[in-house]
Homo-oligomer: A and B are copies of this chain.
């Protein structure tokens, strides 16, 4: 009558539980923030007892660090998906640039990214968390740059400034996402893609033939 409790190996059992815990932690970070993501909240969301959580993560901090790593991995996986969906239409360069900008904005506003911000913000004033987050942030940025270089649009920019342009855009959309919470400005945001695209054309390496068709 009751679920037959399918036989699993210890490893399967363990990994499934850890997965549920990490999922719960990430969604709670995104929805409730770092502070409100308590062990109790994670238990509620994951259906795992506090004893179960502490078996796998000796402290709340280590749980957060594991969650951070999971977020980085998944965000990058999402990027890959976005890239695949994008690779299909290669019309004119101007249009594809705008599409890229929109995609970047979407990624910055994703709930998953909100979890990342929470951890980043907490790391500012929590030295231990920061220490563990540093290598992940470095890797994350490296992955973003690597990803960006693989885009067709990348060839339009002088290589020596491309990384910087891309990361500057990421920062801009991050800042936009942050202030969007308390002060969304839809009109400005629509126009922003246009303005930024124009600014970017200012540093593309020659070939303004893209402008018309």
Contacts and interface: CB of A to CB of B under 8 A. Distances in A.
Interface of A: 31-36, 114, 117-118, 120-126, 130, 133-134, 137-138, 141, 161, 163-165, 167-168, 170-176, 178-179, 181-183, 185, 188, 191-192, 195-196, 198-203
Q: How many copies does the complex hold?
A: 2
Given A171-B174, A200-B202, 14 more contacts: A33-B121, A34-B35, A118-B121, A120-B179, A137-B182, A141-B183, A161-B191, A171-B172, A171-B173, A172-B175, A174-B178, A178-B178, A198-B202, A199-B200
10 contacts: A32-B125, A33-B126, A167-B188, A171-B175, A172-B172, A173-B175, A174-B179, A195-B203, A198-B202, A202-B203
Contact of A170 (B118, B163, B175): B175
A142 B178 CA distance: 17
Nearest to A171: B175
A195 B138 CA distance: 22
A181 B123 contact: yes
A120 B36 contact: no
A149 B25 CA distance: 44
